[in-house]
Amino acid sequence: MSPAEKRGLIRRDHPDLSIRRQCKLVKLSRSAFYYCPLGIDPDTLAVMKAIDRVFTQYPFFGSRQIAAYLRRQGMAVGRHRVRRLMRLMGLQTIYKRPRTSQPHPHHPVYPYLLRKLDINRPNQVWCSDITFIPVKHGFLYLVAIMDWHSRKVLSWRLSNTMHADFCVEALQEAIAKYGPPEIMNTDQGSQFTGADWITVLKDHDVRISMDGRGRYLDNIFIERLWRSLKQEAVYLEEITDGFKAKQVIKNWIRFYNTQRPHSSLEYRTPKEAYWDHEQTKLAA
């Protein structure tokens, strides 16, 4: 039975079985289940792709500025539609806004721990974030776990929902491969304030750091990762479905980790910067 046929057997609204349990019963990984993009009408998808391109280039634009920019490009779209789609896409402008909403009472928010912190070694600080990935007939969400010092992408996952499962899977994989970090930094999204994510970190004695609301610059390195990924791969490919998206992202992240030198890393690649330090530590 093909992955597509197995996905067809799974019911999101099953009264007794969770998606996790249904995937196990049909022998389909949850990641494979989530590769199926979330369908949406072509006109709305075109607007979302246009918004994503503008936001990637100008992350300080709010919904009003993006709507005005798109109208100048000949796309008839209003501010309220742009704002609604930005929420669906998980996009938040970089400037700090008044705190008009309160966190969910069961989702505690943690302080930002990185201000003036000297981050000088791998596994001292990790960061994570989610971005929107457009495909031909819909869209997906991508989460990545990055080592702050070396910029190495440690793990990643695709999903067609913003449910926390795919984020937790990526975190567990990174910890299994590299051991836990001292600090994990994220934004205040519900995937990172929920019990599943927080429990994994606390079980490994990881200190939790969260950006100020709307402060893109608090997690700047992974935001730069998203811009490079989209401009160098996603926007240049015809991504037809989740499996093609996985291939494109996998190839680009391998290139980024192993071949793309960074001036801030003395022109080493992220993989070299990560393992050079680890080998030096073992030799000491």
What CATH number does residue 271 fall under? 3.30.420.10
| pLDDT at position 24 | 78
Which residues fall within 8 angstroms of residue 51, CB to CB, at 6 or more apart? 66, 70, 82, 85, 86, 89, 91
User: What local confidence, expressed as pLDDT, does residue 31 receive?
Assistant: 60
Q: Select from 120, 62, 57, 165 the least CA-distant residue to 265.
A: 120
Does 86 map to a domain? no
Within this chain, do residues 27 and 143 fall inside the same structural domain, yes or no?
A: no
Beta bridge partners of 256: none
**Could you tell me if residue 227 is inside a domain?**
yes
CA–CA separation, 150 and 146 (whole Å): 8
Q: Is 64 helix (H, G, I), strand (E, B) or coil?
A: helix
In a domain, 48, yes or no: no
Residue 71 lies in a domain: no
Domain count, the chain: 2
Residue 189 lies in a domain: yes
Alpha carbon distance 114, 183 (integer Å): 9
pTM of the model: 0.74
Could you give the CA distance from residue 181 to residue 178 in angstroms, rounded to a whole number?
Answer: 8
Contacts of 122 (CB under 8 A, 6+ apart): 147, 149, 150, 152, 273, 274, 277, 278
* Pick from 249, 235, 251, 225: nearest CA to 35: 249
Q: Which domain holds residue 177?
A: 125-283
Pair 129, 26 in one domain:
no
Place of tokens 């349990």: 21
With H, G, I as helix, E, B as strand and everything else as coil, classify residue 244: helix
Q: Which residue has the tokens 């608090």?
A: 218
**Mean pLDDT of successive 10-residue stretches along the chain, which has 284 residues:** 63 72 75 63 88 85 89 90 88 49 60 91 95 87 95 94 89 97 92 93 97 64 90 89 91 96 90 80 52
**Predicted pLDDT of residue 102:** 38
Residue 161 lies in a domain: yes
Q: Are 95 and 211 in contact (CB under 8 A)?
A: no
